[in-house]
Amino acid sequence: MHSKDEKLSLLSEMIQFAKADKNFKEQEYNFIVAVASQLGIEKEEVDFLMKGEVEKKSLQPESQRILQFHRLVLLMNIDQEASPLEIQAIKDMGLKMGLRLEAVDTVLEKMHEYPNKVIPPKELIAIFTTFYN
């Protein structure tokens, strides 16, 4: 499991991403609070993170980076709108995580084939496996 610092870093990254289009929505906030709850982080700590960033922690192993990327895709699609700013931000974040651009682009393309743009975890893993073999 992640350390508390890693969890706060993950949540901070999600908050930054949700603010990328300058339109932070209640649905996005609620999603982040739900993820925080799953990680054992209180809502008050999420509210504190809304005011500023925490030190960025690099996720290891790669499976954790893919999981975080998947969370970001879910967050992006929570309102069924993906602005060009969000698309560029998620690509940039994927690259900063060390994910292959081809895999990121494929995920962003294939998400439109699924209800609510939610790629099933097995399909997500298959996409990344294809580009890492």
pLDDT digits (tens, 9 = 90+) for 38-47: 999 999 999 9
pLDDT of residue 133: 60
Contact, 65 vs 90, CB < 8 A? no
Residue 58 to residues 15, 30, 61, 106, 116, Cα–Cα distance (Å): 17, 25, 9, 23, 29
pTM above 0.85? no
Look up residue 28 and give its two tokens. 């996005």
Q: What is the pLDDT of residue 103?
A: 95
Query: Could you report the per-residue pLDDT of 2-19, keeping only the tens digit for each?
Result: 788 888 988 999 998 888
Centroid of chain to Cα 123: 17
